[in-house]
Structure 1
Amino acid sequence: MQRHAVCHAVERQDQQDVERHAGRGLSEVISNSHARSATFGLSVTMRPDYGVLPAADLALKLEQNRALFVHARPVMETLYAQIVNTHSMIALTDASGLILHSLGDDDFLARAEKVALRAGAVWSEARQGTNAIGTAIAEREATTIHGDQHYLRANQFLTCSSVPILDPLGNLSGVLDVTGDRRSYHQHTMALAKMSAQMIENRLITSTCTEALRIHFHSRPEFIGTLMEGIAAFSLDGRLLCANRSAQFQLGLALGDLRAQTLESLFGASVDEMIARLAAKPLALGLHSGVAVFANVECPLRAPAPSPGMRETAASNLRDLSTGDPQFAAAIERVRRVIGKNIPVLIGGETGTGKDVLANAIHRDSPRHAGPFVAVNCASLPETLIEAELFGYTEGAFTGAAKRGAPGKIAQANGGTLFLDEIGDMPFPLQSRLLRVLQERVVQPLGGARPIPVDFALVCASNRNLRERVEQGAFREDLYYRINGLVVTLPPLRERTDLAVVVDRILRSERFAGRVVGVADEVLALFARHRWPGNFRQLSNVLRTASAMLDDHESQIRIAHLPQDFLDEPVPREAGAIRGTRLDDIAASAVAAALEAHDGNVSAAARALGVSRTTVYRKMRS
């Protein structure tokens, strides 16, 4: 009965969509798309470009869209069970129209292969003309393209229904498409596709906002836990982080407008008041509009303390690392699935992206958490010492050796986790010895005759491209394939979508200036445009220095508090940067503001900014 009510509600929503867009009409959508297709230089009778990406390039795209793929795949399988034997297939694409994954009826897949409806093919309007995937991306609306509405004649035997999938921040993440033979079109296909897309979007929100206070709500309590529930996530200081489409509809505000709201302004309660009522299910709440709703409230970080006897690390350390970025959340999810299964993990990413932090969290979440976590930085040890450091040595093994010898890092990791950081810099001669240890699970100290059995989980990390190192002859190929059981790459800070949450967490955990401070909006905007070559290490140092510049009565970091060397770093000119704004201009504005605040006193302004008087004079002249 509940499922029937949900389906009925989705169909009502479809009808509302039809009415909302009635002014444009389907013919206008098609005609506009056909016009774009002609502009791309396509002709109706041309043979389409059905080429697919090479396997290696497709694997990279899958890695870049890992969060979308992980959460969409089970939904696609459920959807397929509902449309099986209808001569149809289901496809998932990224935001450009590249098919990441597809499945469907064998008889139709044979025909679909001929028009490249398979992983690696691109179905943007620029490549395929008017089609549901490309047109849904262009219009950012759910779209059905039937038969001869397709621009290219070669695709006109198809009927396709596509729904855009939005990430938790409202950006286009990809498209879910159901395609079949035009003769077997079903009018309920679009409703099923929309329901499936909503499921994917809801899963993306709940998986990325793991540390947020989440409210699942609806005016009818039986709809809580269904596709029709609203989901709104808030930071622990009450700021709205994200909201699904149902929440936006119930709250009567678009996502951009909602981000200016707080928990109190929307639901009339503070974070602490919500947390105090976590046990009440469902909870009666009133929206800012006066509408009464029922809600289930979740706050993982404020969950009740575990019962005596539970593991101290029952709250996942890996989960605690996730702060809302889909790429990072996908990496965490992949790692979580292999923990305890004797599969080595290789972590890639630029310097400062948190590879060591992830390695430590892997250990603390593993069955070996009671054992040692032994870290070795292969790039920081002199080549003459790293062999003894790793494998250990016996008395008299070399000049200067300790009297009773010393166990190596590998032996010390027995029963726990061995973390080899910057393994790409390990000297080539030692790589064969490490490979032997990994294969035979014994280590032989320098000067020793008796091998020592070892048992440990292996995590490696590198900021280098190890495949290139293999091709250059600097890294053993057999060792590379021994350590890369699961490869995850951490995104650099400049690509992450959770910068505001990360900044808030760093400030709260470090308690810079002896107290918790905040960051002004203009500083967050500046941070969002910065390229962050030092990633999290650089961000922490900038926040630490800026916090030291705060006066006792100040509680918010502003541009005037930022270090000069940070302001002097160039800003990339890509999309997203504010036109005409340069860091030099921002620095000059900060100096002008400081001079005004101190009545033109250069020395006082320099002290307030944490820079020299020479710097102030230089900015005054610029």
Structure 2
Amino acid sequence: MTHRPAHRPAPRSDAPSRIGRPDVIAQAHARSLEIGLRASETPDFQPLRRPALRELVGRNRSLYTHALPVMETLHAQIVDTQSMVLLTDNHGVILHSLGDSDFVEKANRVALCPGVSWAEADRGTNAIGTALVDGQPTVVHADEHFLHANRILTCSCAPIADPFGRTIGALDVSGDTRGFHKHTLALVRMSAQMIENHLFSNQFADAIRVHFHARAEFIGTLFEGLAAFAADGTFLSANRSALFQFGQPLAELQRQPFDALFGIPFAGLLQQIARTPGESILLTLPSGVRVVARGEYAAPRYMAHGVASDDFNFNGTARAPLSGGARHAPRAVDPAPLATLETLDTGDAQVAAILRRVAKLRGRDIPILVLGKTGTGKEWLARAIHHDSPRRAAPFVALNCASLPETLIEAELFGYEDGAFTGAKKRGSVGKIVQADGGTLFLDEIGDMPLAQQVRLMRVLQERTVVPLGGTRPIPVDLRIVCATHRNLRAMIDEGTFREDLYYRINGLVVTLPPLRERTDLAALVARMLALQPDSEHLPRRVSAAVLERFAQCRWPGNLRQLANVLRTASIMAEGAEQIELDDLPEDFLQDCADVTDVGNARWAAAGPGNDADVSGAVASVQQGGAHTVAPARMEDWQAKLIAQTLARLDGNVSAAARELGLARNTVYRYLRRGSTAH
């Protein structure tokens, strides 16, 4: 028996459909009756006092921190609809709310505010309590609420799970019944999933993660599957999308080896990441479904032979091996310098000029901004600047602004007081700025720092003090700052995504590192990297002339980092030999080099640089009579143009385009990503 009117008016056309839902509501009403609630009663719901609410938020700090920016985005999507966004803990107690001012008063009348429990036991059938009981996204509209007092509301709620599938809270949008929209629940579900993905990335920041989906365009989006593995290949967890794609519960996945989940050995994935970091590969799920996947190392990155795969150390030391399955805190302070300005000078004129300019600032705390593409050695230069300064005995502290979820950058950079983050350090954290006191703070990918943190950083640089989160006492700091980015900060200033005042604070001297393909010291770099290899005396210390010639033909999109990874893998393959031969190089790398040579030389051999008419003819011949176009001036642009045109003609079929062009699928995917980044 339920507490609905016997003769209820027909629902409006935009009211939630009852098809497939009556049982959920009926069962929830039955539970409300069993508890002993009466539909007509108005219970006294006294919110938690401020100290108790602060304590509850503290116990849910991770959920609260990751949810706040998502709640703000969600609220912006539903603004002016007489509604509010609510975050609760796993018991249904509201932790935080964001609402339209014209709805807050009405919400307060039904105790829809922080510190109040909306569990079914307290409020009867309602979206928050019922979603937490059922573990499913739920809509409870108008008179579907058990208590008459709550029937002024329409509510859409989705539970939030931690990275191990345990429900830790709920996200809800509640509003006036007249403002109901059938798409609200979809927005809430997507927002809850976004929070879950942020929590997942934070939990497994030091793990090896596989991003995958049956459709390549969904990699890097909210809908991608995420699976995390320890250094020895042990399955750790998977996000909601991954569980759906696997079609298996988490407990079942935890009993399966990597090759059973993805169809290749775990060592194969590690080798692929080392050879072509950031590239996509095809894997096979247990169901037989083929998915596009991208593996990534965390910080510190892992190698198959157990050594962290940060770029080759210029002082010849190796990082300690990592034990399987253990979580490691990100390395903040490295007392051992990896490079000096002298060791970085390996014969390239552009680099030598940069080093001379930087050397003139030795002993002066002028901020330096290092520009350059990913993998060009920006952190090497920052470490060399630190080592060759009077601060060399103090810490060098690095933070990659692009590697942390937006909501964690503030805590990592500025620190937090005791108890601010339950589940983290019980005594708080001093933060990277204070850790660098007396030394050098290196902020990599400064262009990815959120605007709110840019404001706080600007204040630190002006006042030379920092106030940790949850603290009131400013801490004085004395440090030098070196920043790096691959982004165009001036363009970001024009777009309003980077603060102009901060830009002029960090660019006392600006230097731009050249990409590897433009350097003239490739042979010297190879020799230096091989000479400084750690581990075994049986690893070769040189490459053959054929290998060096092949290296000279490659574009090196991953720059020095890619070269280091290729040499490390090839060295292992050639263990015991005197030198590295072509057969020792990773197959994907050889194929990519061949692609560049084949497309650049064979397909446009007759055209020649600068001959637009001939190039257009070559492109048109491949298009089988398509319209002539003027080719771009650079070889890589010719390649991209031909690939794009072939894909368009083949309706986006990557495999067919790769076969027709004689390229590896990875090469086609790479050009697709490059094109999307450019636009």
TM-score by length of 2: 0.47
Does structure 2 conserve the Cα–Cα contact (< 8 Å) formed by 1:93 and 1:101? yes
The correspondence for 1:336, drawn from 412, 416, 420, is 412
The correspondence for 1:309, drawn from 349, 374, 381, is 381
Q: Which whole-Å deviations, capped at 9, do the CAs of 1:438-487 have from their partners, x for residues lacking one?
A: 89x9xxxxxxxxxxxx9679xxxxxxxxxxxxxxxxxxxxxxxxxxxxxx
- Counterpart of 1:179 in structure 2 is 174
**Alpha-carbon distance in 1 for matches of 2:33, 2:424:** 44
- Counterpart of 1:249 in structure 2 is 244
**Alpha-carbon distance in 2 for matches of 1:78, 1:106:** 17
Does structure 2 conserve the Cα–Cα contact (< 8 Å) formed by 1:136 and 1:163? yes
Structure 1 position 263, deviation (Å): 2.0
**Alpha-carbon distance in 2 for matches of 1:271, 1:87:** 51
- Counterpart of 2:89 in structure 1 is 94
Does structure 1 conserve the Cα–Cα contact (< 8 Å) formed by 2:228 and 2:237? yes
Task: Output aligned runs, 1:262-411, within 5 Å.
Answer: 262-278=257-273, 279-300=277-298, 301-302=300-301, 304-305=310-311, 307=377, 308-311=380-383, 335-339=411-415, 345-346=417-418, 362=431, 366-368=435-437, 370=439
**Alpha-carbon distance in 2 for matches of 1:363, 1:209:** 20
Structure 1 position 319, deviation (Å): 12
| Mapped pair 1:103 → 2:98 | yes
Structure 1 position 176, deviation (Å): 0.5
Does structure 1 conserve the Cα–Cα contact (< 8 Å) formed by 2:208 and 2:297? yes
- Counterpart of 1:82 in structure 2 is 77
Does structure 2 conserve the Cα–Cα contact (< 8 Å) formed by 1:284 and 1:294? yes
SS for the counterpart of 2:287 is coil
Does structure 2 conserve the Cα–Cα contact (< 8 Å) formed by 1:317 and 1:365? no
Structure 1 position 272, deviation (Å): 3.3
Structure 1 position 298, deviation (Å): 1.4
Q: Which whole-Å deviations, capped at 9, do the CAs of 1:569-593 have from their partners, x for residues lacking one?
A: xxxxxxxxxxxxxxxxxxxxxxxxx
Could you list the runs of 5+ residues in structure 1 that have no partner in the other structure? 1-17, 323-328, 372-414, 418-434, 442-453, 458-622
- Counterpart of 2:110 in structure 1 is 115
Distance 1:314 1:238, change over 3 A: farther
Does structure 1 conserve the Cα–Cα contact (< 8 Å) formed by 2:208 and 2:229? yes
The correspondence for 1:36, drawn from 31, 38, 44, is 31
The correspondence for 2:206, drawn from 200, 204, 211, is 211
**Alpha-carbon distance in 2 for matches of 1:333, 1:89:** 27
Does structure 2 conserve the Cα–Cα contact (< 8 Å) formed by 1:98 and 1:120? yes
Task: Output aligned runs, 1:118-157, within 5 Å.
Answer: 118-157=113-152
Does structure 2 conserve the Cα–Cα contact (< 8 Å) formed by 1:133 and 1:162? yes
**Alpha-carbon distance in 1 for matches of 2:243, 2:278:** 24
Does structure 2 conserve the Cα–Cα contact (< 8 Å) formed by 1:219 and 1:292? yes
SS for the counterpart of 2:382 is coil
Q: Which amino acid aligns with 2:117?
A: V
Distance 1:103 1:32, change over 3 A: same
Distance 1:277 1:61, change over 3 A: same
Q: Which whole-Å deviations, capped at 9, do the CAs of 1:134-164 have from their partners, x for residues lacking one?
A: 0001111111111111110000111111101
Does structure 1 conserve the Cα–Cα contact (< 8 Å) formed by 2:67 and 2:195? yes
Q: Which whole-Å deviations, capped at 9, do the CAs of 1:598-618 have from their partners, x for residues lacking one?
A: xxxxxxxxxxxxxxxxxxxxx
Structure 1 position 241, deviation (Å): 1.1
Q: Which amino acid aligns with 1:282?
A: S
SS for the counterpart of 1:81 is helix
Does structure 2 conserve the Cα–Cα contact (< 8 Å) formed by 1:49 and 1:128? no
**Alpha-carbon distance in 2 for matches of 1:210, 1:64:** 21
| Mapped pair 1:162 → 2:157 | yes
SS for the counterpart of 1:310 is helix
Q: Which amino acid aligns with 1:273?
A: G
**Alpha-carbon distance in 2 for matches of 1:255, 1:206:** 17
- Counterpart of 1:194 in structure 2 is 189
Distance 1:330 1:114, change over 3 A: same
**Alpha-carbon distance in 2 for matches of 1:286, 1:353:** 37
- Counterpart of 1:233 in structure 2 is 228
- Counterpart of 2:327 in structure 1 is none
**Alpha-carbon distance in 1 for matches of 2:159, 2:436:** 40
**Alpha-carbon distance in 1 for matches of 2:57, 2:426:** 21
Q: Which amino acid aligns with 2:167?
A: L
Distance 1:349 1:137, change over 3 A: closer
SS for the counterpart of 2:381 is coil
**Alpha-carbon distance in 2 for matches of 1:269, 1:364:** 42
Structure 1 position 41, deviation (Å): 2.0
Could you list the runs of 5+ residues in structure 2 that have no partner in the other structure? 1-15, 302-308, 312-374, 385-395, 441-463, 467-471, 480-679
**Alpha-carbon distance in 2 for matches of 1:71, 1:354:** 17
**Alpha-carbon distance in 2 for matches of 1:364, 1:334:** 11
Does structure 2 conserve the Cα–Cα contact (< 8 Å) formed by 1:233 and 1:243? yes
Structure 1 position 333, deviation (Å): 6.1
Distance 1:143 1:364, change over 3 A: same
Q: Which whole-Å deviations, capped at 9, do the CAs of 1:473-518 have from their partners, x for residues lacking one?
A: xxxxxxxxxxxxxxxxxxxxxxxxxxxxxxxxxxxxxxxxxxxxxx
**Alpha-carbon distance in 1 for matches of 2:465, 2:72:** 38
Q: Which amino acid aligns with 1:66?
A: R
Q: Which whole-Å deviations, capped at 9, do the CAs of 1:303-329 have from their partners, x for residues lacking one?
A: 642732234966659999x9xxxxxx9
TM-score by length of 1: 0.51
**Alpha-carbon distance in 2 for matches of 1:142, 1:310:** 48
The correspondence for 1:48, drawn from 22, 26, 43, is 43
**Alpha-carbon distance in 1 for matches of 2:197, 2:407:** 19
**Alpha-carbon distance in 2 for matches of 1:78, 1:348:** 24
Distance 1:281 1:314, change over 3 A: farther
Q: Which amino acid aligns with 1:222?
A: E
Q: Which amino acid aligns with 1:85?
A: D
CA RMSD of aligned residues (A): 3.8
Distance 1:348 1:125, change over 3 A: closer
Q: Which amino acid aligns with 2:382?
A: M
How many equivalent residue pairs?
350
**Alpha-carbon distance in 2 for matches of 1:80, 1:318:** 26
**Alpha-carbon distance in 2 for matches of 1:353, 1:80:** 29
Identity %: 42
Distance 1:345 1:72, change over 3 A: closer
**Alpha-carbon distance in 2 for matches of 1:181, 1:348:** 35
**Alpha-carbon distance in 2 for matches of 1:365, 1:262:** 42
Does structure 1 conserve the Cα–Cα contact (< 8 Å) formed by 2:62 and 2:421? no
Distance 1:349 1:30, change over 3 A: closer
Distance 1:290 1:187, change over 3 A: same
Does structure 1 conserve the Cα–Cα contact (< 8 Å) formed by 2:437 and 2:477? no
**Alpha-carbon distance in 2 for matches of 1:180, 1:146:** 10
